[in-house]
Chain A
Amino acid sequence: MLDRTTTSRPDPGFTPLAITAFSAVSAMGHGLAATRAALLERQGGLRPAQDPEDAGLPDGIWVGRVPGLDLVALPADLARYDCRNNRLAEMALQADGFAAAVAAARARHGAARVAVVLGTSTAGIAQTEAAYRRRAGGALPADFDFGGTHDLYALPRYLRARLGLRGPALTVSTACTSGARSLLEAAALLRADVADAVVAGGVDTLCRMTLQGFNALSLLAHGPCRPCAADRDGITIGEAAGLLLLERAPAPGALALLGAGASSDGHHMSSPQPEGLGAQAAMHAALATAGLPPAAVDYINLHGTGTRANDAMEDRAVAALFGSTVPCSSTKGWSGHTLGASGALEAVVSLLCIEEGLIPGCLGVAAVDPGFRADVASDNRRRPVGRVLSNSFGFGGSNCSLLLGRAA
């Protein structure tokens, strides 16, 4: 029988979670070694948009495209999931021993106790765009597999089948916070004892919908994006997969998710609340769940898209909480804005910064916006980095901040 009496109220705080494996593929690098080298050598991955898929964009637009996806093959028995998004997920699984680490977790916990919680904003919609162009007599072609490609659920279903897991699967789709928010949902499953390990992260791929949509909003940068620059003029769209394996009870000194916070602007669908009140609430909640003061943060990985409005809002929010005492930067100058993957990719970048003792100054920024109050780095700084706060904000007024560091 269900016990209808109340039990002791759970501690609302956040128990640090071990990040036992992680992997990333983006225009800045295929795997962790390449991503790390790109950060240290300040070599970005953005290039002029020249692919046939980029047709119709104005001159001077750049993208962060991952090379080699045409050559990725999914296992034959999972061929129905074949699309650019799942190929990018497969590439990240094969990088950095991530699939092997999940297999080890499966052996430790049992397949039914390993969940898959992934963020994406558009899943395999590029497949649908192509199917629309191939229509005959109005109907979509018979070989178009909606559930295996277009549907948001195609991503965790593919990974769960590919990794031989039997735990819960969930797609988080909160626009550009999807990747970050997946870690908070993973934390809920671990804390509620629904799972013992969670494959979390985000995967989003270039498609005409997002390129043309951001173009319609006049938000695309000319040339590579320049977050926080005085002359910034918009975002460069990229694509990425960022995967993290979360488990309980990190060993002392091990990389960990220390806290996470979320909020909603309740202001406008595509413009941030100008003072960054929602952003402040998410950052404050991430610190509060970890029981740490702002001074405990060594580096802030900004959402930093490169739009006039986002970066100005985020500077106000960061300055309100941290003054100018904590160095911050956006790494989107390397990868572009990878939308529903960005929070996961940047969580991985944050872990690399902790390992390397690196504050990666914004790429391609000749002069930081003189109106900014926060300490924006525009050159790499080397110093011990114990804890990183990583921000993600999205359409719909969605905000999520993650606090990453080493377990006590």
Chain B
Amino acid sequence: MPRCWIEGAAVLGPGLPGWPASRAILTGEAPWLEAPTLVPPPALLAATERRRASLVVRLALAAAAEAIAAAGREAAALDSLFASSNGDGGVVGAILEALATPGGDVSPTQFHNSVHNAAAGYWSIGAGARLGSVSIGCHDDTWPAGLLQGVAQVAAWGRPLLLCGYDAPLPEPLAAVRPTAIPFATALVLAPEPGPRSLAAIEVAHGGPLPPEVQPGPLRRALEGVNPIARALPLLEALAAGRPARIGWPLLDGLAITLRLEPCHAA
């Protein structure tokens, strides 16, 4: 069962404006108040790219930058795994509209931005992150599948990894067949060894019995079912509270991914 250490965490979602401001909400010490997701412009991109960056790219880059800063790591020294179910739905939707319109032209810029690894590409350009990067997409299983793969990578290669999950609503008519109500992103820095910034040790497995479900609070009840990446919330809550946890994610085809978390009580 692969394991690793979480060093830095980030979150962006409705009423969750970054990790420091969200911590008390995640622990339940402060109430969660629904509010629009605030996504800062990506400071690390050049001015032109910053202006053009889509919501999806801004979401991913903001979460990635926050987690790296919290971990005190250099982006250039990290492998990365970007996990998203929908990718950049606005771009894909615009191309599908153009293709369905007689005489409609596909925009070359939209075409290169339509690849599923577009956010990862902008991250590597903006942050100077030139190590290996993988982008995955697994529908509603995207968060647990990305987490399992990320932990497996860290355990296999002994190198730290930026794990970034992000998803945003699709445009119509895709939204009707793939509802995603809100934008949500999270990022974690995963390390092969414990260090001074370690928040918790985690082990992740494919399979295993689902642990007893903890009664979800208002935050989880509102968000967990409406964005695939918000399925990270039980893990983020345990991390914020610094409490041991066993978490299970049922998967689409009747299987499960399970996680065990032990907080690191740094002096």
Residues of A that sit less than 8 Å from B by CB: 1-2, 4-6, 9-12, 112, 115, 121, 125, 128-129, 132-133, 135, 138-140, 144, 146-147, 151-153, 156-157, 160-161, 166-175, 181, 184-185, 187-189, 191-195, 208-209, 212-218, 261-270, 278, 281-282, 285, 394-398, 400
Contacts and interface: CB of A to CB of B under 8 A. Distances in A.
Contact of B95 (A171, A189, A209, A396): A209
Given A128-B96, A168-B145, A192-B156, A4 B264 contact: yes
B267 interface: no
A153 B114 CA distance: 17
A194 B137 CA distance: 19
A139 B176 contact: yes
A213 B155 contact: no
A217 B2 contact: no
The SS class assigned to the B binding surface is mixed
B125 A397 contact: yes
28 contacts: A2-B201, A2-B262, A5-B194, A128-B174, A132-B99, A132-B173, A133-B100, A135-B173, A139-B176, A152-B116, A157-B253, A173-B87, A174-B115, A191-B157, A192-B151, A209-B106, A212-B111, A216-B108, A217-B108, A217-B112, A218-B108, A261-B132, A266-B128, A266-B130, A269-B125, A395-B121, A397-B125, A400-B132
B234 to A, nearest CB: 17
Contact of B141 (A121, A128, A153, A398): A153
Given A169-B138, A397-B125, A129 B148 contact: no
A277 B124 CA distance: 14
Contact of A12 (B135, B149, B159): B159
A147 B151 CA distance: 26
Contacts of B201: 2, 4
Interface in B167-203: 172-174, 176-178, 192-194, 201-203
A175 B115 contact: yes
B130 A146 contact: no
B139 interface: yes
Nearest to B49: A269
Contacts of A161: 253
A216 B193 contact: no
A129 B96 CA distance: 6
A185 B149 contact: yes
Nearest to B107: A216
B134 A135 contact: no
B106 A269 contact: no
Contacts of B178: 146-147, 151
Interface residues of B, number: 77
Contacts of A168: 145, 148-149, 206, 257
Given A4-B201, A151-B137, A170-B138, A191 B156 contact: yes
Nearest to B257: A168
B133 A262 contact: yes
B35 interface: no
Contacts of A281: 130
A112 to B, nearest CB: 6
B118 interface: yes
Contact of A267 (B125, B156, B192): B125
Given A169-B253, A173-B115, 18 more contacts: A4-B264, A12-B157, A12-B158, A121-B116, A132-B100, A147-B139, A151-B85, A168-B145, A171-B137, A173-B136, A174-B134, A175-B115, A193-B1, A213-B95, A217-B112, A261-B132, A266-B130, A397-B121
Closest 6 CB pairs of A and B: A396-B121, A262-B132, A213-B111, A173-B116, A152-B137, A191-B156
B108 A169 contact: no
A200 B229 CA distance: 25
B124 A264 contact: yes
A396 to B, nearest CB: 3
B99 to A, nearest CB: 5
Contacts of A209: 95-96, 99, 106, 111, 114
A144 B96 CA distance: 15
B48 to A, nearest CB: 12
Contacts of B115: 121, 173-175, 394-396
Contacts of A216: 105-108, 111
Nearest to A142: B177
Nearest to B260: A2
Given A133-B100, A139-B176, A191-B156, A268 B107 contact: no
A167 B253 CA distance: 11
Contacts of A132: 96-97, 99-100, 173
Contact of A188 (B97, B107, B152, B194): B152
A396 B133 CA distance: 10
A59 to B, nearest CB: 17
Nearest to A266: B124
Contacts of A215: 106
Contacts of A194: 2, 148, 152, 205-206
B260 to A, nearest CB: 6
A173 B131 contact: no
Contacts of A400: 132
B113 interface: yes
Contacts of B121: 264, 269, 395-398
Contacts of A167: 206
A185 B133 contact: no
Contact of B118 (A10, A151, A269): A269
